[in-house]
Protein backbone atom coordinates (compact mmCIF):
# COMPACT_ATOMS: atom_id res chain seq x y z
CA UNK A 1 0.00 0.00 0.00
CA UNK A 2 1.52 3.37 -1.03
CA UNK A 3 2.09 6.14 1.52
CA UNK A 4 -0.85 8.32 0.44
CA UNK A 5 -3.34 5.47 0.46
CA UNK A 6 -2.05 4.16 3.79
CA UNK A 7 -2.38 7.60 5.36
CA UNK A 8 -5.87 8.04 3.88
CA UNK A 9 -7.04 4.60 5.02
CA UNK A 10 -5.84 5.10 8.58
CA UNK A 11 -7.20 8.63 8.68
CA UNK A 12 -10.62 7.37 7.57
CA UNK A 13 -10.64 4.67 10.27
CA UNK A 14 -9.70 7.26 12.88
CA UNK A 15 -12.19 9.75 11.46
CA UNK A 16 -15.07 7.26 11.42
CA UNK A 17 -14.17 6.24 14.96
CA UNK A 18 -14.26 9.84 16.17
CA UNK A 19 -17.46 10.61 14.22
CA UNK A 20 -19.23 7.57 15.61
CA UNK A 21 -18.12 8.28 19.15
CA UNK A 22 -19.00 11.95 18.89
CA UNK A 23 -22.39 11.21 17.36
CA UNK A 24 -23.27 9.01 20.33
CA UNK A 25 -21.78 11.56 22.73
CA UNK A 26 -23.85 14.37 21.22
CA UNK A 27 -27.08 12.44 21.70
CA UNK A 28 -26.14 11.47 25.24
CA UNK A 29 -25.02 15.00 26.03
CA UNK A 30 -28.36 16.38 24.89
CA UNK A 31 -30.29 13.86 26.98
CA UNK A 32 -28.15 14.42 30.06
CA UNK A 33 -28.30 18.20 29.69
CA UNK A 34 -32.08 17.96 29.68
CA UNK A 35 -32.21 15.54 32.63
CA UNK A 36 -29.53 17.11 34.85
CA UNK A 37 -28.91 20.63 36.14
CA UNK A 38 -25.91 22.66 34.86
CA UNK A 39 -24.47 22.63 38.42
CA UNK A 40 -23.91 18.86 38.21
CA UNK A 41 -21.86 19.23 35.04
CA UNK A 42 -19.88 21.91 36.86
CA UNK A 43 -19.20 19.45 39.70
CA UNK A 44 -17.78 16.86 37.30
CA UNK A 45 -15.72 19.56 35.58
CA UNK A 46 -14.09 20.45 38.91
CA UNK A 47 -13.05 16.83 39.53
CA UNK A 48 -11.97 16.23 35.94
CA UNK A 49 -9.48 19.09 36.18
CA UNK A 50 -7.34 17.19 38.68
CA UNK A 51 -7.74 13.82 36.96
CA UNK A 52 -6.71 15.32 33.60
CA UNK A 53 -3.54 16.66 35.18
CA UNK A 54 -2.64 13.26 36.63
CA UNK A 55 -3.60 11.59 33.33
CA UNK A 56 -0.59 13.27 31.74
CA UNK A 57 1.69 11.26 34.04
CA UNK A 58 0.05 8.03 32.91
CA UNK A 59 1.71 8.41 29.53
CA UNK A 60 4.90 9.98 30.91
CA UNK A 61 5.76 10.80 27.29
CA UNK A 62 6.73 7.14 26.90
CA UNK A 63 3.88 6.35 24.51
CA UNK A 64 5.16 8.95 22.06
CA UNK A 65 8.71 7.69 22.61
CA UNK A 66 7.64 4.18 21.56
CA UNK A 67 6.07 5.59 18.39
CA UNK A 68 9.06 7.78 17.52
CA UNK A 69 11.80 5.19 18.23
CA UNK A 70 12.85 3.54 14.97
CA UNK A 71 13.66 0.07 16.36
CA UNK A 72 11.23 -0.30 19.31
CA UNK A 73 10.60 -3.99 20.12
CA UNK A 74 8.70 -6.13 22.66
CA UNK A 75 11.20 -5.38 25.40
CA UNK A 76 10.60 -1.63 24.97
CA UNK A 77 6.81 -2.03 24.97
CA UNK A 78 6.79 -4.44 27.93
CA UNK A 79 9.10 -2.23 29.96
CA UNK A 80 6.80 0.75 29.50
CA UNK A 81 3.74 -1.39 30.26
CA UNK A 82 5.02 -2.59 33.65
CA UNK A 83 6.32 0.86 34.55
CA UNK A 84 2.96 2.44 33.73
CA UNK A 85 1.02 -0.05 35.86
CA UNK A 86 3.14 0.62 38.94
CA UNK A 87 3.16 4.36 38.39
CA UNK A 88 -0.62 4.55 37.92
CA UNK A 89 -1.17 2.74 41.20
CA UNK A 90 0.95 5.37 42.95
CA UNK A 91 -0.92 8.19 41.23
CA UNK A 92 -4.31 6.82 42.24
CA UNK A 93 -3.20 6.39 45.85
CA UNK A 94 -2.08 10.02 45.89
CA UNK A 95 -5.40 11.18 44.42
CA UNK A 96 -7.36 9.04 46.91
CA UNK A 97 -5.54 10.65 49.83
CA UNK A 98 -5.84 14.14 48.35
CA UNK A 99 -9.62 13.93 47.80
CA UNK A 100 -10.50 15.72 51.10
CA UNK A 101 -8.08 18.55 50.22
CA UNK A 102 -9.68 18.97 46.79
CA UNK A 103 -13.14 19.06 48.37
CA UNK A 104 -11.94 21.59 50.93
CA UNK A 105 -10.47 23.80 48.20
CA UNK A 106 -13.89 24.04 46.56
CA UNK A 107 -15.76 24.00 49.90
CA UNK A 108 -17.82 20.98 48.80
CA UNK A 109 -17.54 17.75 50.82
CA UNK A 110 -19.61 15.88 48.20
CA UNK A 111 -16.55 15.87 45.94
CA UNK A 112 -14.61 13.36 48.10
CA UNK A 113 -16.32 10.14 46.91
CA UNK A 114 -16.63 11.50 43.37
CA UNK A 115 -12.88 12.10 43.18
CA UNK A 116 -12.07 8.65 44.55
CA UNK A 117 -14.37 6.75 42.22
CA UNK A 118 -13.70 8.75 39.06
CA UNK A 119 -9.97 8.52 39.79
CA UNK A 120 -10.10 4.80 39.00
CA UNK A 121 -9.88 5.83 35.34
CA UNK A 122 -6.17 6.41 36.00
CA UNK A 123 -5.61 2.71 36.71
CA UNK A 124 -7.53 1.68 33.60
CA UNK A 125 -5.58 4.15 31.47
CA UNK A 126 -2.31 2.62 32.64
CA UNK A 127 -3.44 -0.73 31.24
CA UNK A 128 -4.53 0.83 27.93
CA UNK A 129 -1.64 3.18 27.23
CA UNK A 130 0.88 0.83 25.64
CA UNK A 131 -1.79 -0.84 23.52
CA UNK A 132 -2.62 2.59 22.10
CA UNK A 133 1.03 3.25 21.31
CA UNK A 134 1.28 -0.13 19.57
CA UNK A 135 -1.77 0.60 17.43
CA UNK A 136 -0.47 4.07 16.47
CA UNK A 137 3.07 2.91 15.69
CA UNK A 138 1.84 0.12 13.43
CA UNK A 139 -0.92 2.26 11.85
CA UNK A 140 -3.71 -0.13 12.93
CA UNK A 141 -6.27 2.58 13.59
CA UNK A 142 -9.20 0.35 12.72
CA UNK A 143 -8.81 -1.18 16.20
CA UNK A 144 -9.52 2.19 17.81
CA UNK A 145 -12.84 2.21 15.94
CA UNK A 146 -14.16 -0.89 17.69
CA UNK A 147 -12.77 -0.03 21.12
CA UNK A 148 -14.02 3.54 21.16
CA UNK A 149 -17.50 2.83 19.84
CA UNK A 150 -17.97 -0.10 22.23
CA UNK A 151 -17.08 2.03 25.22
CA UNK A 152 -19.07 5.04 24.05
CA UNK A 153 -22.29 3.17 23.29
CA UNK A 154 -22.15 1.17 26.51
CA UNK A 155 -21.41 4.20 28.67
CA UNK A 156 -24.22 6.11 26.96
CA UNK A 157 -26.76 3.53 28.07
CA UNK A 158 -25.37 3.52 31.61
CA UNK A 159 -25.26 7.32 31.93
CA UNK A 160 -28.74 8.02 30.56
CA UNK A 161 -30.32 5.20 32.59
CA UNK A 162 -28.81 6.42 35.87
CA UNK A 163 -29.72 10.03 35.08
CA UNK A 164 -33.32 9.00 34.39
CA UNK A 165 -33.35 7.11 37.73
CA UNK A 166 -32.23 10.38 39.39
CA UNK A 167 -28.75 9.32 40.46
CA UNK A 168 -27.56 12.86 39.73
CA UNK A 169 -23.82 13.36 39.50
CA UNK A 170 -23.20 9.59 39.76
CA UNK A 171 -24.75 9.16 36.34
CA UNK A 172 -21.90 11.24 34.92
CA UNK A 173 -19.30 9.42 37.01
CA UNK A 174 -20.52 5.99 35.93
CA UNK A 175 -20.65 7.08 32.29
CA UNK A 176 -16.99 8.14 32.22
CA UNK A 177 -15.69 5.14 34.18
CA UNK A 178 -17.65 2.65 32.09
CA UNK A 179 -16.47 4.29 28.86
CA UNK A 180 -12.76 4.02 29.53
CA UNK A 181 -13.06 0.51 31.07
CA UNK A 182 -15.00 -1.09 28.21
CA UNK A 183 -12.91 0.67 25.58
CA UNK A 184 -9.75 -0.68 27.19
CA UNK A 185 -11.16 -4.22 27.41
CA UNK A 186 -12.11 -4.23 23.71
CA UNK A 187 -8.69 -2.88 22.71
CA UNK A 188 -7.00 -5.73 24.60
CA UNK A 189 -9.21 -8.25 22.82
CA UNK A 190 -8.65 -6.99 19.26
CA UNK A 191 -4.95 -6.07 19.57
CA UNK A 192 -2.77 -9.16 19.66
CA UNK A 193 0.24 -7.62 21.40
CA UNK A 194 0.87 -8.90 24.92
CA UNK A 195 3.66 -7.95 27.34
CA UNK A 196 6.58 -10.38 27.64
CA UNK A 197 8.32 -11.10 30.97
CA UNK A 198 11.07 -8.55 30.38
CA UNK A 199 12.00 -5.22 31.93
CA UNK A 200 15.01 -3.13 30.95
CA UNK A 201 16.06 -0.14 33.02
CA UNK A 202 18.44 0.86 30.23
CA UNK A 203 15.65 0.85 27.65
CA UNK A 204 13.40 2.80 30.02
CA UNK A 205 16.07 5.46 30.51
CA UNK A 206 16.54 5.75 26.75
CA UNK A 207 12.82 6.18 26.12
CA UNK A 208 12.47 8.54 29.05
CA UNK A 209 15.29 10.77 27.77
CA UNK A 210 13.04 11.58 24.81
CA UNK A 211 9.69 11.24 26.56
CA UNK A 212 10.22 13.30 29.72
CA UNK A 213 10.29 16.51 27.72
CA UNK A 214 6.95 15.62 26.12
CA UNK A 215 5.64 14.71 29.57
CA UNK A 216 6.53 18.12 30.95
CA UNK A 217 5.16 19.75 27.79
CA UNK A 218 1.86 17.90 28.17
CA UNK A 219 1.74 18.71 31.86
CA UNK A 220 2.31 22.39 31.17
CA UNK A 221 -0.39 22.27 28.49
CA UNK A 222 -3.04 20.54 30.59
CA UNK A 223 -2.38 22.68 33.68
CA UNK A 224 -2.63 25.75 31.51
CA UNK A 225 -5.84 24.55 29.85
CA UNK A 226 -7.38 23.72 33.22
CA UNK A 227 -6.11 26.87 34.94
CA UNK A 228 -8.98 28.93 33.56
CA UNK A 229 -11.44 26.31 34.78
CA UNK A 230 -9.80 26.18 38.20
CA UNK A 231 -10.10 29.94 38.54
CA UNK A 232 -13.66 30.02 37.19
CA UNK A 233 -14.68 27.23 39.56
CA UNK A 234 -13.04 29.00 42.50
CA UNK A 235 -13.93 32.65 41.86
CA UNK A 236 -17.26 32.25 40.09
CA UNK A 237 -20.20 29.82 40.18
CA UNK A 238 -20.46 26.20 39.09
CA UNK A 239 -23.01 27.34 36.51
CA UNK A 240 -20.44 29.73 35.02
CA UNK A 241 -18.01 26.84 34.73
CA UNK A 242 -20.69 24.61 33.20
CA UNK A 243 -21.53 27.22 30.53
CA UNK A 244 -17.84 27.70 29.73
CA UNK A 245 -17.22 23.94 29.42
CA UNK A 246 -20.40 23.21 27.51
CA UNK A 247 -19.58 25.90 24.92
CA UNK A 248 -16.20 24.29 24.33
CA UNK A 249 -17.78 20.89 23.71
CA UNK A 250 -19.47 22.03 20.50
CA UNK A 251 -16.32 23.04 18.58
CA UNK A 252 -14.58 20.09 20.24
CA UNK A 253 -16.91 17.82 18.28
CA UNK A 254 -15.31 19.15 15.11
CA UNK A 255 -11.71 19.22 16.29
CA UNK A 256 -12.00 15.75 17.83
CA UNK A 257 -13.28 14.33 14.56
CA UNK A 258 -10.98 16.02 12.09
CA UNK A 259 -7.93 17.56 13.71
CA UNK A 260 -7.51 14.78 16.28
CA UNK A 261 -7.83 12.16 13.54
CA UNK A 262 -5.11 13.83 11.47
CA UNK A 263 -3.01 14.33 14.59
CA UNK A 264 -3.13 10.62 15.45
CA UNK A 265 -2.04 9.50 12.00
CA UNK A 266 0.33 12.37 11.22
CA UNK A 267 2.86 11.76 14.00
CA UNK A 268 3.71 8.13 13.08
CA UNK A 269 3.65 9.09 9.39
CA UNK A 270 6.12 11.94 9.89
CA UNK A 271 8.26 9.76 12.17
CA UNK A 272 8.69 7.30 9.30
CA UNK A 273 10.22 10.04 7.10
CA UNK A 274 11.98 12.00 9.85
CA UNK A 275 15.30 12.04 7.97
CA UNK A 276 13.85 13.45 4.73
CA UNK A 277 13.33 17.19 5.34
CA UNK A 278 11.73 17.86 1.96
CA UNK A 279 9.18 15.09 2.52
CA UNK A 280 8.54 16.33 6.04
CA UNK A 281 7.74 19.80 4.76
CA UNK A 282 5.45 18.47 2.04
CA UNK A 283 3.49 16.31 4.48
CA UNK A 284 3.29 19.08 7.10
CA UNK A 285 2.11 21.58 4.50
CA UNK A 286 -0.52 19.20 3.19
CA UNK A 287 -1.76 18.47 6.72
CA UNK A 288 -2.10 22.17 7.57
CA UNK A 289 -3.85 23.07 4.32
CA UNK A 290 -6.23 20.13 4.23
CA UNK A 291 -7.34 20.12 7.86
CA UNK A 292 -7.72 23.91 7.89
CA UNK A 293 -9.76 23.84 4.69
CA UNK A 294 -12.17 21.31 6.20
CA UNK A 295 -12.34 22.69 9.74
CA UNK A 296 -12.66 26.41 8.98
CA UNK A 297 -16.15 26.32 7.38
CA UNK A 298 -17.47 23.91 10.02
CA UNK A 299 -16.31 26.08 12.89
CA UNK A 300 -17.32 29.36 11.28
CA UNK A 301 -20.67 27.84 10.37
CA UNK A 302 -21.16 26.61 13.95
CA UNK A 303 -20.46 30.11 15.28
CA UNK A 304 -22.93 31.62 12.82
CA UNK A 305 -25.65 29.08 13.75
CA UNK A 306 -24.74 29.08 17.44
CA UNK A 307 -27.94 30.54 18.89
CA UNK A 308 -30.24 28.15 17.04
CA UNK A 309 -28.02 25.16 17.85
CA UNK A 310 -27.95 25.92 21.58
CA UNK A 311 -31.69 26.58 21.89
CA UNK A 312 -32.72 23.54 19.86
CA UNK A 313 -30.18 21.12 21.29
CA UNK A 314 -29.79 22.20 24.91
CA UNK A 315 -32.81 24.49 25.50
CA UNK A 316 -32.73 28.19 26.38
CA UNK A 317 -31.29 27.65 29.87
CA UNK A 318 -27.91 27.11 28.17
CA UNK A 319 -27.95 30.32 26.07
CA UNK A 320 -25.20 31.94 28.21
CA UNK A 321 -22.88 29.52 26.34
CA UNK A 322 -23.19 31.52 23.10
CA UNK A 323 -20.37 34.11 23.46
CA UNK A 324 -17.96 31.42 24.64
CA UNK A 325 -18.98 29.23 21.71
CA UNK A 326 -18.04 31.95 19.20
CA UNK A 327 -14.66 32.50 20.86
CA UNK A 328 -13.81 28.79 20.90
CA UNK A 329 -14.81 28.43 17.25
CA UNK A 330 -12.46 31.25 16.20
CA UNK A 331 -9.48 29.93 18.16
CA UNK A 332 -9.98 26.36 16.93
CA UNK A 333 -9.97 27.48 13.29
CA UNK A 334 -6.19 27.83 13.54
CA UNK A 335 -5.60 24.58 15.40
CA UNK A 336 -4.09 22.83 12.31
CA UNK A 337 -1.11 25.21 12.44
CA UNK A 338 -0.39 24.15 16.00
CA UNK A 339 -0.94 20.44 15.39
CA UNK A 340 1.11 19.99 12.22
CA UNK A 341 4.06 22.10 13.34
CA UNK A 342 4.35 20.36 16.69
CA UNK A 343 4.05 16.89 15.15
CA UNK A 344 6.88 17.71 12.75
CA UNK A 345 9.08 18.83 15.64
CA UNK A 346 8.29 15.66 17.63
CA UNK A 347 8.88 13.43 14.61
CA UNK A 348 12.39 14.88 14.16
CA UNK A 349 13.19 13.88 17.73
CA UNK A 350 13.33 17.47 18.98
CA UNK A 351 11.36 16.97 22.20
CA UNK A 352 13.69 19.53 23.83
CA UNK A 353 12.51 22.18 21.39
CA UNK A 354 8.92 21.04 21.85
CA UNK A 355 9.21 21.67 25.61
CA UNK A 356 10.77 25.10 25.09
CA UNK A 357 7.88 26.15 22.85
CA UNK A 358 5.29 24.96 25.38
CA UNK A 359 6.91 26.95 28.18
CA UNK A 360 7.06 30.13 26.06
CA UNK A 361 3.40 29.83 25.06
CA UNK A 362 2.24 29.17 28.60
CA UNK A 363 4.12 32.14 30.02
CA UNK A 364 2.17 34.33 27.60
CA UNK A 365 -1.07 32.52 28.41
CA UNK A 366 -0.70 32.78 32.19
CA UNK A 367 -0.01 36.49 31.92
CA UNK A 368 -3.25 36.85 29.92
CA UNK A 369 -5.16 34.93 32.60
CA UNK A 370 -3.74 37.06 35.41
CA UNK A 371 -4.69 40.24 33.57
CA UNK A 372 -8.30 39.14 32.97
CA UNK A 373 -9.26 36.87 35.90
CA UNK A 374 -10.80 39.69 37.92
CA UNK A 375 -12.83 41.02 35.00
CA UNK A 376 -15.22 38.12 34.54
CA UNK A 377 -15.35 34.77 32.78
CA UNK A 378 -16.01 36.35 29.39
CA UNK A 379 -12.88 38.51 29.65
CA UNK A 380 -10.85 35.37 30.42
CA UNK A 381 -12.31 33.71 27.34
CA UNK A 382 -11.52 36.72 25.12
CA UNK A 383 -7.87 36.53 26.18
CA UNK A 384 -7.71 33.24 24.25
CA UNK A 385 -7.96 35.15 20.98
CA UNK A 386 -4.78 37.14 21.58
CA UNK A 387 -2.78 34.25 23.02
CA UNK A 388 -3.83 32.03 20.11
CA UNK A 389 -2.16 34.31 17.55
CA UNK A 390 1.04 34.49 19.59
CA UNK A 391 1.06 30.70 20.02
CA UNK A 392 0.76 30.20 16.25
CA UNK A 393 3.89 32.26 15.70
CA UNK A 394 5.80 30.44 18.45
CA UNK A 395 4.85 26.97 17.18
CA UNK A 396 5.73 27.68 13.56
CA UNK A 397 8.95 29.63 14.13
CA UNK A 398 11.34 26.62 14.52
CA UNK A 399 10.15 25.00 11.30
CA UNK A 400 11.42 27.98 9.32
CA UNK A 401 14.90 26.75 10.31
CA UNK A 402 14.24 23.01 10.48
CA UNK A 403 12.50 22.55 7.13
CA UNK A 404 12.17 26.03 5.57
CA UNK A 405 8.43 26.40 6.23
CA UNK A 406 7.73 29.81 7.76
CA UNK A 407 4.62 31.11 9.54
CA UNK A 408 3.91 33.60 6.74
CA UNK A 409 4.08 30.78 4.20
CA UNK A 410 1.69 28.74 6.33
CA UNK A 411 -0.77 31.63 6.59
CA UNK A 412 -0.59 32.07 2.83
CA UNK A 413 -1.44 28.39 2.40
CA UNK A 414 -4.55 28.43 4.62
CA UNK A 415 -5.86 31.97 4.14
CA UNK A 416 -7.96 31.33 0.99
CA UNK A 417 -10.03 28.74 2.84
CA UNK A 418 -10.24 30.89 6.00
CA UNK A 419 -11.46 33.97 4.10
CA UNK A 420 -13.99 31.93 2.15
CA UNK A 421 -15.26 30.43 5.45
CA UNK A 422 -15.59 33.88 7.02
CA UNK A 423 -17.58 35.18 4.05
CA UNK A 424 -19.81 32.12 4.15
CA UNK A 425 -20.32 32.57 7.90
CA UNK A 426 -21.43 36.19 7.53
CA UNK A 427 -24.07 35.24 4.98
CA UNK A 428 -25.28 32.35 7.14
CA UNK A 429 -25.43 34.57 10.24
CA UNK A 430 -27.58 37.11 8.41
CA UNK A 431 -30.39 34.52 8.25
CA UNK A 432 -30.87 35.10 12.01
CA UNK A 433 -32.43 38.48 11.20
CA UNK A 434 -35.06 37.08 8.82
CA UNK A 435 -37.53 36.46 11.66
CA UNK A 436 -37.97 32.69 11.24
CA UNK A 437 -38.28 30.35 14.20
CA UNK A 438 -35.14 28.59 15.41
CA UNK A 439 -35.70 25.31 13.58
CA UNK A 440 -36.50 27.00 10.26
CA UNK A 441 -33.48 29.26 10.66
CA UNK A 442 -31.14 26.32 11.19
CA UNK A 443 -32.65 24.34 8.29
CA UNK A 444 -31.91 27.30 6.00
CA UNK A 445 -28.46 28.10 7.42
CA UNK A 446 -26.87 24.65 7.11
CA UNK A 447 -27.53 23.89 3.40
CA UNK A 448 -26.88 27.55 2.52
CA UNK A 449 -23.45 27.39 4.19
CA UNK A 450 -22.53 24.11 2.49
CA UNK A 451 -23.59 25.38 -0.93
CA UNK A 452 -21.72 28.68 -0.57
CA UNK A 453 -18.46 27.06 0.56
CA UNK A 454 -18.53 24.31 -2.07
CA UNK A 455 -19.39 26.73 -4.87
CA UNK A 456 -16.79 29.25 -3.72
CA UNK A 457 -14.10 26.56 -3.54
CA UNK A 458 -14.80 25.43 -7.06
CA UNK A 459 -15.06 28.93 -8.54
CA UNK A 460 -11.83 30.06 -6.87
CA UNK A 461 -10.07 26.79 -7.72
CA UNK A 462 -8.78 26.25 -4.18
CA UNK A 463 -5.89 23.79 -4.07
CA UNK A 464 -7.23 21.89 -1.07
CA UNK A 465 -10.60 21.42 -2.76
CA UNK A 466 -8.92 19.91 -5.83
CA UNK A 467 -6.65 17.75 -3.66
CA UNK A 468 -9.51 16.32 -1.58
CA UNK A 469 -11.68 15.54 -4.58
CA UNK A 470 -8.76 13.83 -6.34
CA UNK A 471 -7.86 11.80 -3.24
CA UNK A 472 -11.47 10.74 -2.73
CA UNK A 473 -11.83 9.79 -6.40
CA UNK A 474 -8.60 7.76 -6.51
CA UNK A 475 -9.26 6.12 -3.14
CA UNK A 476 -12.73 4.88 -4.05
CA UNK A 477 -11.52 3.74 -7.49
CA UNK A 478 -8.84 1.69 -5.76
CA UNK A 479 -11.40 0.22 -3.36
CA UNK A 480 -13.72 -0.73 -6.21
CA UNK A 481 -10.82 -2.29 -8.12
CA UNK A 482 -9.71 -4.22 -5.03
CA UNK A 483 -13.22 -5.59 -4.52
Per-residue tens of pLDDT for the chain, all 483 residues: 455 556 666 666 666 666 666 666 667 766 776 676 667 776 777 777 778 778 777 765 777 788 777 778 889 889 989 998 888 889 899 999 999 988 887 777 888 888 899 889 888 888 888 888 888 787 777 777 778 778 888 888 888 888 888 888 888 888 888 888 888 888 888 888 888 998 888 888 888 877 777 777 777 777 777 777 778 877 887 778 888 878 887 787 777 667 666 666 666 666 666 667 777 788 888 888 888 888 888 899 888 888 888 888 777 888 888 888 999 898 888 888 887 888 788 777 777 787 888 888 888 888 988 898 888 888 888 888 888 888 888 888 888 888 888 888 888 888 888 899 999 989 999 988 887 888 888 898 889 999 999 999 988 888 888 877 876 776 566 655 655
Report the predicted TM-score, pTM, of the whole model to 2 decimal places.
0.63
Helices (H), 138-275: 142-164, 169-190, 201-235, 238-257, 259-272
DSSP 17: H
In 3D, which of 411, 428, 418 has the Cα closest to residue 460? 418
DSSP 408: H
Task: Output the pLDDT for position 10.
Answer: 64
Largest CA distance in the chain: 69
Task: Output the pLDDT for position 229.
Answer: 77
CB 36 within 8 A of CB 171: yes
Q: Rounded distance, CA 409 to CA 405, Å?
A: 7
- Alpha carbon separation from 186 to 18, 132, 143, 410, 474 (Å, rounded): 16, 12, 9, 40, 33
CB 262 within 8 A of CB 291: yes
Task: Output the pLDDT for position 60.
Answer: 58
The number of CA neighbours under 13 Å toward the Cβ of 122 is: 28
Q: Rounded distance, CA 408 to CA 476, Å?
A: 35
Q: Which residues contact 385 (CB under 8 A, 6 or more apart)?
A: 327, 330, 331
Q: Rounded distance, CA 389 to CA 331, Å?
A: 9
Task: Output the pLDDT for position 93.
Answer: 93
**Neighbouring C-beta atoms of residue 133, cutoff 10 Å:** 24
Amino acid sequence: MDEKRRFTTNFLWRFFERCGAQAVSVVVSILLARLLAPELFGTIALVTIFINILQVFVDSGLGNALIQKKDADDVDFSTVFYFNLAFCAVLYAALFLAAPLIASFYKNDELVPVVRVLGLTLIVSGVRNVQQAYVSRNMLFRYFFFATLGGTVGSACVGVTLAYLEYGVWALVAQQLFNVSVGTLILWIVVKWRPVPAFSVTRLKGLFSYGWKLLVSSLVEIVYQDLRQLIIGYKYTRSDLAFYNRANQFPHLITANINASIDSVLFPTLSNVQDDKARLKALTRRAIMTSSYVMAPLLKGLAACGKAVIVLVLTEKWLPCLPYLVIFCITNMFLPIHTANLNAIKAMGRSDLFLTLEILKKVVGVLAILLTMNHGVLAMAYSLLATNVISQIINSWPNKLLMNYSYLEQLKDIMPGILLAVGMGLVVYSVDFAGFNMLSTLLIQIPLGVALYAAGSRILGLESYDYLTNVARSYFKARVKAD
